Structure 1
Amino acid sequence: MRQQNARTAAQLTDWRARAKGRMIRIGHVIDKLREMPDRSVHCVVTSPPYYGLRDYGLEPVIWAPVRYAPMAGLPEMTFPDYADPAMFVGCDHDWGAWVENHDVREGAIAGKTRTTDRAYGDASRRFNGNHQKHAHGQFCRKCGAWRGCLGLEPTPELYIGHMVQVFRELRRVLRPDGTLWLNLGDSYASGNRGTSDADRKPSAHGMPAGPWDPAGIKPKDLFGIPWRAAFALQADGWWLRSDVVWSKTNAMPESVTDRPTRSHEMVFLLTPSERYFYDHVAIREPHAAESVARVARGRAVNHKWSNGPGDQTIANDLSKALHPSGRNKRDVWAISTKPYKGAHFAVMPPDLVEPCILAGTSEAGACPNCGAPWVRIIERAKSDCPASYRGSSFQRGKTAQAREGLSAVGTAPRGEYSVTTGWKPGCSCLARDLRRQDRVPCVVLDPFGGSGTTAMVARNLGRDWEIVEANPQYAALVDGRLGVPPTKLKATKTMRRSRIPHPQMEFFEGERYR
């Protein structure tokens, strides 16, 4: 990694100038991401609008036709299938019928659920914003562009295609050694046809007047949206490194009697390259109680590994089985949802965001010239092989030469525990004015900022942050959560955030609030 980040003094650019620090960008997510410089973000943590789950009542935006492969090894496809992406730029759009669909996903058997009244334009077009399957939008008859809001596409394939478009821009702004954490939930097929406006005729290209579930999807089928998205992004060039299960310890009950109640969502770890920054030490978790008790009990004298076997340190000395800093974090995270009083109904819990930022960014900051994160200086304590190894039954039946080799291996010093002794630059910058201790906070981005959970957690951890949000009203929620007086925001304006002092930014002496 140090060789990859090595630059000559003439090639270095000022990281402070490229990474804006703390900013809210309001508008269409793709347009706002295109305003950001290349490789300016260390970590992305985001939860896009789920497919068909919730209508936020936003103004529709235009999405270009998209071509992508649904899965690695499959041919690329264009969505919609008649579209010509080359015609999008400069197209004088001829919009077809506006389609709306607010079908109930699964009928309630008993009990009531909270509703969210929303309307398109006037009270006569009111709908329940939370507990229906939503779709709306219209297609251009010429180029195949779609006008609508992300999550309300008529088909899962189009929704995944728009996600691929957004993530192509994210791959550009993310550093090659960066990480992206994607939280997605799933939804069910309803099997119901949608309703359209007064123009109920199909478009000139045969597009239906109302959305319905795609071919092969049956009523009540689980779409599998998270994995569809993960496979499409993998085929588009992302490395799919982990599938974390977010187990909700206080999941909402569901009025269904023919399947289990859903109590989990997926969090995918995606990276733009094979090698990347990942601080596993920062997110170690406590050992299981059963493991601690087993070590405390020790091993019976008649245990099959009482004297060995071989070069396995743990088998020889059970006290080394538990790292003093905890175990490597598992991929099932039991985290409860958190209440939020603001006008936003899909808020990520801070406990879900925190390990993503801790693992994806360096707490010691980054190089101010090239942005490479500082890395831990790891040292390992050494210990001799326990005397119990010599004479092990593992050597029985071995030749004299084999026993001699095993004896040499068994008595050699071996690693015990890894310990962080400090931090060092993760690059080899040659700029003469770069002092060894100079560093700036790492930058965290959320392209679907919502109420600002990612920004709040990043600020609390001493990182810089940027968010993109389509709804100007939600930007005011971010101000409130970060302790900043609300400001009047315009939908087309990009606002520079004032830097907020925080005690956990003590690493960055003299650089914190510039």
Structure 2
Amino acid sequence: MVAQVEMEQNETSEPEATASDDAPIQVRQGDAYDLMADLPAESIDLLITSPPYWGLRAYGQEHNEEILKEWLAEDSERVQTDVPPYEWYRKHGGVLGLEPLPEWFIGHLVEILQRGAAALKPEGSMWINIGDTYFARWSSIRHDGRQGLGDNPRSRRRTPMGGFRQEKQLLLIPARFAIAMQDLRWILRNDLIWHKPNVPPRPEKDRLRLAHEHFFHFVKRPKEGRAKYHYDMDEVEHGARDVVFYDFDEAGYDEADPSYYDFQEVEEGEHDVVTTHVRSGSDGHSATFPIGLIKPRILSSCPPGGTVLDPFCGTGRSLTVAAESGRRAIGFELSAEFHEAAQKNSDQSLGQLTLELPDVE
């Protein structure tokens, strides 16, 4: 069970960079947990990101494999599924995505994102891309690279079984994450399915190939009434709209009382399923956002001249796409290597552009 998370603000720290700075792209190195709390209130129009998935890759980070034992040893009344605060977790050598249990991972991811809630404008949006994982008591952690690709070094670790954590079980991590966000008052507007037609083969012979990920669209829940947020339907993929048109006169009705389903016309196409090939990574990062997946999200959910935040920006793909689309962009990255790559890619992108960003209040 994910504990209710309260916003914690560091009153003594001074922000290194903010959404009001003039630079079209800002890339900051550090933990998103800290950097999110430094953002000015209501300064972000769109938060879009693909955080680390649970139990797949280490991204070169060192993780304390004894952390579960340490957590339980501190208090005899604790049980495995009691989720430690993220600050305790990282202080004891924990890394997001390498939690000993998926329950911990979901709790920490929600806690980090909640730290940025105050920075998101009331009419802002949050798009979170997240994939699922199969449970194995002895799991394989890639030091880098996708599962099933190349000769990337990997290590084995034992993961405790119990509850829904059973051998060969699809853990439904995206669904559990989305429900945890709903419990914190976020409104889930879409569960966009990213269909990946070129996923690498797997050796399993008793299940279908896992060829999709989830892209959740959250908006803030207002104090009263329905959620209202910026959304430009003209910028989404063709066929993704869900719009009904009526012509009552042509239908022969004297009163506007036809059945909803009698005279609807919707665009043919993928609707909330988007097919985009997995792209090769860049600068040593194997999980780079495909442009075709994120550009419609940026164009539709962030107004021109607005600010896009990616708190797990990797090598900066979302930042350059935002800037090239006439938006400001802020990225956070924990890895020094990927931060350097994101800064380089941002500089190269800006060098090829003449940006005229409107002033925003």
TM-score, normalised with respect to structure 1: 0.52
Larger Cα Rg: Structure 1 or Structure 2? 1
CA distance, structure 1, for counterparts of residue 116 and residue 79 of structure 2: 21
| Distance in 1 separating the partners of 2:61 and 2:211 | 28
| 1:5-44 paired onto structure 2 within 5 Å | 19-20=20-21, 21=23, 22-44=25-47
Question: 1:181 pairs with 127, 131, 139, which one?
Answer: 127
1:418-429 → structure 2 map (5 Å cutoff): none
- Give the aligned partner of residue 360 of structure 1: 301
Q: CA separation of 1:223/1:60 partners in 2, compared to 1, >3 Å: closer, same or farther?
A: same
What per-residue deviation string (whole Å, max 9, x for no partner) do you get for residues 160-190 of structure 1? Answer: 1101111111212111110000000111111
> 2:79 and 2:315 mapped to 1: Cα distance?
31
Q: Report the Cα offset of residue 192 of structure 1.
A: 3.1
Q: Report if aligned partners of 1:284, 1:328 keep a CA contact under 8 Å in 2.
A: no
Change (3 A) 1:280 1:190: same
Aligned counterpart for 1:443 among listed residues 307, 318, 328: 307
Return closer, same or farther for 1:272/1:212 CA change in 2, 3 Å cut-off: same
Q: Does residue 1:477 correspond to 2:328, yes or no?
A: no
CA distance, structure 1, for counterparts of residue 204 and residue 269 of structure 2: 37
Distance verdict in 2 for CA 1:242–1:454, change over 3 Å = same
The answer to whether the 8 Å contact 1:79/1:158 transfers is no
SS of 1:172's equivalent in the other structure is coil
Give the direction of change, closer, same or farther, for the CA distance of 1:286–1:212 in structure 2 (3 Å limit).
closer
Query: For residues 379-398 of structure 1, what are the structure 2 equivalents within 5 Å?
Result: none
CA contact (8 A) 1:314 1:320 kept: no
2:231 alignment partner, SS class: coil
Cα deviation code 1:172-228 (max 9, x no counterpart): 21111100000001111112389xxxxxxxxxxxxxx96323433210000111111
Distance in 2 between the 1:320 and 1:239 partners? 27
The aligned residue for residue 346 of structure 1 is 287
Q: CA RMSD in A?
A: 3.8
C-alpha contact (below 8 Å) 1:155/1:213 kept by paired residues: no
Q: Is the 8 A contact 2:191 2:216 kept in 1?
A: yes
Per-residue deviation, 1:146: 5.0
Q: Deviations over 1:260-292 (max 9, x none)?
A: 11111000001123211111122251599xxxx
Q: Classify the secondary structure of the residue corresponding to 1:160.
A: helix
Question: What CA distance in whole angstroms lies between the structure 2 residues aligned with 1:321 and 1:82?
Answer: 49
- In the alignment, the residues of structure 1 paired with residue 264 and residue 177 of structure 2 have an alpha-carbon distance, to the nearest angstrom, of 41
Aligned to 1:192: 138
Q: Show the counterpart of 2:164.
A: 216
- Cα separation, partners in 2 of 1:176 and 1:79, compared to 1, 3 Å: farther
Q: CA deviation at 1:243?
A: 0.4
Cα 1:332–1:81 change in 2 (3 A) is closer
Number of residue pairs aligned between Structure 1 and Structure 2: 302
Structure-2 residue corresponding to 1:170: 116
Query: 1:280-326, CA deviations, whole angstroms, 9 ceiling, x for partnerless residues?
Result: 122251599xxxxxxxxxxxxxxxx99645667999xxx9957xxx7
Alpha-carbon offset, residue 460 of structure 1: 1.1
Q: Could you tell me how far 1:234 is from its partner in structure 2? A: 0.7
Query: 1:311/1:333 Cα in 2 relative to 1: closer, same or farther (>3 Å)?
Result: farther
Distance of 1:474 and 1:232 partners within structure 2: 29
Corresponding residue for residue 53 of structure 1: 56
Q: Structure 1's 458 and 327: CA in aligned 2 closer, same or farther, altered over 3 A?
A: farther
Q: Which of 169, 176, 181 is 1:233 aligned to? A: 181
| % identical aligned pairs | 28
Alignment check: 8 A CA contact 2:324 2:353 kept: yes
Matching residue of 2:233: 280
For residue 325 of structure 2, what is the aligned residue in structure 1?
461
Distance 1:54 1:226 in 2: 17
Q: SS of the counterpart of 1:178?
A: strand
Which secondary structure state, in structure 2, belongs to the residue aligned with residue 342 of structure 1?
coil
For the 8 Å contact 1:283–1:329, the answer to whether it is kept is: no
Distance 1:252 1:341 in 2: 18
Which AA in structure 2 matches 1:354?
A: K
Q: 1:263 to 1:24 in 2, by over 3 A?
A: same
Tell me, yes or no, if the aligned pair for 1:19 and 1:443 is still in contact at 8 Å: no
Which letter maps to 1:226?
Answer: P
Q: Where does 1:105-120 land on structure 2 (aligned, <5 Å)?
A: none
Task: Using the TM superposition, give the Cα deviation of residue 353 of structure 1 relative to its aligned residue in structure 2, in angstroms.
Answer: 0.8
- SS at the partner of 2:40? coil
Indicate if the aligned counterparts of 1:284 and 1:327 stay in contact, CA closer than 8 A. no
The DSSP-based 3-state class of the residue aligned with 1:152 is coil
Indicate the SS of the match to 1:167.
helix
Q: Distance in 2 between matches of 1:26 and 1:164?
A: 20
Distance 1:32 1:168 in 2: 12
Tell me, in whole angstroms, the C-alpha distance in 1 between the residues paired with 2:195 and 2:84: 42
Paired residue for 2:100, among 137, 154, 172? Answer: 154
Residues 231, 193 of structure 1: alpha-carbon distance in 2 compared, 3 angstrom cutoff:
same
Aligned to 1:218, the other structure's residue is in SS state: coil
Q: What letter matches 1:456 in structure 2?
A: T
Distance 1:261 1:242 in 2: 24
Partner of 1:355, secondary structure, is helix
- The 2-side partners of 1:342 and 1:81 are apart by 36
Cα offset for 1:84? 8.0
